[in-house]
Amino acid sequence: MLYLVRHGQTLWNTEARFQGQFDSPLTDLGRDQATRIGQALASEIGAHFQPIRAYVSPLGRTRATAELIGRSLAMDILEEPNLMEVHFGDWEGLTREDILSRFGSDQAIRPIDWQFQAPGGETLDVVLARVGLWYAKAEAPAVIVTHGIISRLVRGLHAGLTHEEMLALPVSQDGYFRLDGGHIEFVPAP
């Protein structure tokens, strides 16, 4: 069983900025989200797997989220660079409006995979390859603390989805996804 968590809300999330591999701090809401997710995970997992293995992106917002989860759930944290968010190249730190004004019109940006079109950024194939390398060796049970797009790709790999299906998956910062035997279930954190 894998328990997939997106980091808590950050300041740049509230400003609709592309964080990519840049960082901004968790907001009060983001810290609350991580705390509630930790409590929900501890309730589900109980003492069965504690400490549980936790694969965590090395970026600050995911490490902060994992630390808050760890107040309720004993975890053996393994930093995993392959779980870092997509590198958005020249778009990091910008809003969509900034991107459109600096890099082109809305029609120039394809709707499904627009996140992978940034000058100097990673392509979908590159990101899927690095996430796939991690996924192939990941050991369950484990908690995974990562990012929005990476969460979509992990769930897509787990369920055998097409690229389009992966990129259309919802993301949430108010719960976690339970991945088991090709199935995916969202568990809200009360």
Q: 182 in the Ramachandran plot: left (φ > 0), alpha (ψ -120 to 50) or beta?
A: left
Residue of 169 and 48 predicted with greater confidence = 169
Is 7 designated active site?
Answer: yes
Is 183 designated active site?
Answer: no
List 15, 79, 80, 85, catalytic entry: 85
pLDDT at 131: 98
Domain 2-188 sits in CATH at 3.40.50.1240
Evaluate if residue 108 carries a pLDDT over 60.
Answer: no
Angle ∠(106,123,87) on CA atoms, nearest 5: 90
Q: What is the pLDDT of residues 119-138, one digit of tens each?
A: 999 999 999 999 999 999 99
pLDDT at 96: 84
